[in-house]
Amino acid sequence: MPTPAELKAEILRLTRAYSELMHRANRPGADAAVPFEPGQTTVPYAGRVFNADEVEAAVGSTLDFWLTLGPEGAAFEAELAALLGVKHSLLVNSGSSANLVALSALTTHKLPAHKRIQPGDEVITVAAGFPTTVAPILQCGAVPVFIDNDPATGNVRVAQLAAAFSAGKTKAVMIAHALGNPFDLGTVLEFCRKHDLWLIEDNCDALGCTYSLPVARAKALGFTENSPGLPADGTYITRYTGTWGDLSTQSFYPPHHLTMGEGGAVNIVHRPPLKTYAESFRDWGRDCWCASGKDDTCGKRFQWQLGELPKGYDHKYIYSHLGYNLKPLDPQAAIGRQQLKKLPAFIEARKRNWTTLRAGLADLADVFDFSLPTHATGWTPQGFAWDATGCRTDCSWFGFMLRVKSTAPFSHTELAQHLDQRKIGNRMFFGGNLLRQPAFVQLKQDRPSAFRVVGEFPGADEIMHRALFLGTYPGLTAAMLDYEIATIRAFVRSR
């Protein structure tokens, strides 16, 4: 009879063989194994990109049958934290849950009163984006304060930050890096430092993006080192997005930069106690920090006295917060570890695909406004021109956003329908102006003080009325990109 190790090895060998046959369409675009037929083969806006490595890892972990978050999860958390250069990364079951856990961690009674986010306190955010950047603010009893977006970048209009601030009420800023384009971190960080505010970076669409600050400006904000693996040149301090604020979040849903099916992470950038608070909210609200399957790592499991419980009550069943159960499964983490190895190649593919689309549509500027990285003032085939701030961004693009000009002889909806009919995946910029969404219209009617707005929202409305985006994900082939470009050009000519 074969040994268990021999049986497992044979199962995994057959697993790889099966995956090579069944998952050929999910390989990176540069390694395409399925012929592309224009108009017949769907061009997704995003999707899973993997090979036999991920399938083998998932099956191998399942055979071990730990299932709940365990050794693979611990390894993934350590590897992600090391890649980014943060203190800790904490796995959760989605990017939306990551946002909820990150915001919840700042509501703990274990923080000083002036830093704790309590019901009625305010958190500054932006109007256009994905709703689960904003929902946790409301779910935790705080008040979101909306400011406008710059339609050219999709990001926050930083000039409105001062008007959004309310002394004694504003406690945090929580905004996303839009479509893999970093927001103006220099200005946002200076604003947060000035007013002693928390900064949560929603990095769900932006894993692998970098932001560069001139050395003197970065040092004035307390930064002295680059993120791991990023070169220092004496001019800039360059760090990955998600490593500048206090907390940041990731999503590992299939359209994102790496996937484990469902999944996400909270990154604790530089304040280790925040890990304990975030972990508590993730894990039912418990006070105990023992990992699953481990007991008494504090050495005094039966010696605590908290709340009104009797002294010696089992620390594993003491709850300091009203928490959740938001953990993923260990086989998901096993998949994620293989995806992490591919991340550098995925990032380069996203940049390359964005550039291909931009160059292929460059002469259609009479009908389209094209997006720019934050701090860029223009694009040519040779690269970007930059503003006078001295800051730079390097985008790991989630998508290629363009805006149909108001003078164009077609709308963005008509373009989206045309692309859809020709099997080209596309999306609006998520929820558009969230304040126009039925949930927020109803909330305003039910509880007018539930959120606050600053000024008008011409940028967010422009994004809502005119913007859509195409995919840049690593599964796109050169033939797919050529077909997208040709289809859009033909549509414009026909109008």
What was the pLDDT predicted at 39? Answer: 94
Type of residue at 221: L
CB hemisphere CA count around 400 (13 angstroms): 28
CA gap 463, 24 in Å, rounded: 36
Q: Is 25 exposed, middle or buried (0-12, 13-18, 19+ CB in 10 A)?
A: middle
Over range 480-492, report the average pLDDT.
Answer: 98
What was the pLDDT predicted at 33? Answer: 79
What was the pLDDT predicted at 290? Answer: 85
153 closest CA partner among 363, 391, 485: 391
CA gap 495, 410 in Å, rounded: 7
What was the pLDDT predicted at 292? Answer: 74
What was the pLDDT predicted at 465? Answer: 98
How does residue 284 score in pLDDT terms, banded at 50, 70 and 90?
very high
Whether 195 sits among the annotated catalytic residues: the reply is: no
Type of residue at 248: S
Over range 186-196, report the average pLDDT.
Answer: 98
Mean pLDDT of the chain: 97
Quick check: 452 and 146 in contact, CB under 8 A?
yes
Partners of 404 in beta bridges:
368
Of the candidates 88, 177, 256, 412, the residue annotated as catalytic is 256
Over range 268-275, report the average pLDDT.
Answer: 97
How does residue 360 score in pLDDT terms, banded at 50, 70 and 90?
very high
Give the pLDDT confidence of 130-183 residue by residue, as tens digits.
999 999 999 999 999 999 999 999 999 999 999 999 999 999 999 999 999 999
The encoded tokens of residue 68 equal: 């709940």
CA gap 103, 114 in Å, rounded: 16
CA gap 203, 92 in Å, rounded: 14
What was the pLDDT predicted at 110? Answer: 97
Partners of 90 in beta bridges:
266
Give the pLDDT confidence of 85-113 residue by residue, as tens digits.
999 999 999 999 999 999 999 999 999 99
How does residue 419 score in pLDDT terms, banded at 50, 70 and 90?
very high
The encoded tokens of residue 346 equal: 């995925």
Whether 257 has a pLDDT exceeding 80, the answer reads yes
CA gap 129, 432 in Å, rounded: 6
What was the pLDDT predicted at 289? Answer: 86
Whether 31 has a pLDDT exceeding 90, the answer reads no
Whether 293 has a pLDDT exceeding 90, the answer reads no
Whether 276 has a pLDDT exceeding 90, the answer reads yes
CA gap 364, 368 in Å, rounded: 6
Quick check: 290 and 296 in contact, CB under 8 A?
yes
Quick check: 91 and 327 in contact, CB under 8 A?
yes
Residue 91 CB contacts under 8 Å (≥ 6 apart), including other chains: 69, 73, 76, 77, 263, 264, 265, 327, 328, 333
Query: Which overall architecture, per CATH, does domain 13-285+320-495 show?
Result: 3-Layer(aba) Sandwich (3.40)
Number of neighbouring beta carbons within 10 Å of residue 320: 18
Give the DSSP letter of residue 121. -
Residue 457 CB contacts under 8 Å (≥ 6 apart), including other chains: 127, 128, 146, 148, 149, 433, 435
The two beta strands, 376-380 and 383-386, are antiparallel
What was the pLDDT predicted at 94? Answer: 98
Whether 220 has a pLDDT exceeding 80, the answer reads yes
Domain ranges of the chain: 13-285+320-495
